[in-house]
């Protein structure tokens, strides 16, 4: 008889360092799962999976479900239980991964490599909190309220804009360039690997405080009368979305919900424009139009020399500021080509008519 291998001990969320934007986005999605999940872009080894597993531990009794790349649509949404159908001649629903993830975290690594049909069903359930199955003679619906966390490496392909827009928040991670910060993160990871339980014991109090704060924030968000906001908040949201050139109104709605989740997390009495500004980038990062990025203010011109003259080198490179990849034309040699012989010898006289 074989025994199941023990699950690895998760790294404590409170000990994750060097990724403040990732921490905030995950906590906001945990406060309000209706935001539509978090898409994490970044290179390998930037704590994407570690943070998702750690978040599930903060939610009381929350499962952590992983969607493998080779999963089928039936295994995700559920389908007909063939065993029951064949044995008892009755139709019975066999729940899928969406049902198992209810109340917890559904993690999808390399989500950009999944078929579009799976991503559509995944995002529909994440935004609505309900999974509806109409197939194989089955008409079934069940609650599927979970925190969706998807990761992707842009070097391996991107998602279609229609799918990107369905994600509530997006975080773009980069390699840490500060030497001291890198050393601190590596030391913490080595300490955890050497003694996981001892390392977790040092962060028990912080973990308990985060879990309690999540419970309070979730209760506050569930209260429709709590956290009011005025016209200034609406104006700030509208201005930011117009400036980013987003399509539709989903960005406006997600930004308001994200600002409300942040206010609830911080225990504020109302939503302010400061809350809007602090969540705006995570809402707009994957929705911003390229032309909106190109319309960003140009850098200030170079300062002149103290004597009022400009730098000759800067003047020579002024055109290069607009097209830094441009190169001057170079002469191209012409090779002599052997002349073609005509099919008809025009030197011969044409025959005279009779």
Q: Which of 189, 250, 278, 288 is catalytic?
A: 250
Distance CA(54)–CA(11), nearest Å, equals 6
Pair of tokens at residue 332: 């191209």
Quote the CA–CA distance of 121 and 234 in Å, as a whole number.
31
What is the rounded distance in angstroms from the CA atom of residue 30 to the CA atom of residue 62?
Answer: 11
Structure tokens at 278: 């602090």
Q: Could you give the CA distance from residue 230 to residue 186 in angstroms, rounded to a whole number?
A: 45
Label residue 189 exposed, middle or buried (CB < 10 Å: 0-12, 13-18, 19+): middle
Other C-beta atoms closer than 10 Å to the C-beta of 203 total 16
Closest alpha carbon to 284 in 242, 249, 247, 241: 241
Spatial separation of the C-alpha atoms in residues 224 and 113, rounded to whole Å:
38
Classify residue 129 as left (phi > 0), alpha (psi -120 to 50) or beta: left
The Cα–Cα gap between 128 and 118 comes to 16
Tokens for 22, please give them.
Answer: 């990732």
- Whether the Cβ atoms of residue 76 and residue 112 lie closer than 8 Å to each other: no
Sign of CA dihedral 186, 189, 191, 194: negative
> Is 250 a catalytic site residue?
yes
Question: Quick check: 51 and 22 in contact, CB under 8 A?
Answer: yes
Catalytic annotation, residues:
250
């Amino acid at each position: 008889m074989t025994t199941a291998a023990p699950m690895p001990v998760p790294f404590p969320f409170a000990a994750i360092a060097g990724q403040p934007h990732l921490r905030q986005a995950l906590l906001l999605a945990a406060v309000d799962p209706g935001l539509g999940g978090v898409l994490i872009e970044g290179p390998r080894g930037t704590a994407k999976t570690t943070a998702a597993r750690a978040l599930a531990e903060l939610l009381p009794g929350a499962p952590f479900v992983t969607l493998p790349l080779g999963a089928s649509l039936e295994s995700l949404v559920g389908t007909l239980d063939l065993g029951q159908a064949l044995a008892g001649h009755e139709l019975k629903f066999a729940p899928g991964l969406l049902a198992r993830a209810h109340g917890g975290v559904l993690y999808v690594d390399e989500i950009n490599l999944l078929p579009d049909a799976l991503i559509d069903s995944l995002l529909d359930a994440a935004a609505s909190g309900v999974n509806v199955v109409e197939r194989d003679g089955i008409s079934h619906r069940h609650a599927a309220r979970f925190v969706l966390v998807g990761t992707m490496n842009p070097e391996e392909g991107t998602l279609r804009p229609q799918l990107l827009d369905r994600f509530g928040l997006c975080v773009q991670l980069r390699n840490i360039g500060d030497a001291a910060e890198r050393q601190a993160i590596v030391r913490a990871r080595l300490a955890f690997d050497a003694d996981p339980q001892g390392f977790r014991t040092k962060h028990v109090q912080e973990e308990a405080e985060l879990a309690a704060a999540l419970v309070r924030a979730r209760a506050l968000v569930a209260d429709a009368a709590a956290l009011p906001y005025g016209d200034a908040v609406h104006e700030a949201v509208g201005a930011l979305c117009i400036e980013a050139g987003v399509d539709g109104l989903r960005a406006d709605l997600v930004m308001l919900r994200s600002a409300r989740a942040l206010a609830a997390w911080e225990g504020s009495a109302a939503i302010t424009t400061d809350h809007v500004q602090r969540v705006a980038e995570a809402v707009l990062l994957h929705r911003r139009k390229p032309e909106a990025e190109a319309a960003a203010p140009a850098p200030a011109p170079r300062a002149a020399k103290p004597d009022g003259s400009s730098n000759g080198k800067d003047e020579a490179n002024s055109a290069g500021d607009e097209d830094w990849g441009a190169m001057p034309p170079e002469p191209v040699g012409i090779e002599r080509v052997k002349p073609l012989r005509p099919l008809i010898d025009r030197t011969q006289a044409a025959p005279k008519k009779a």
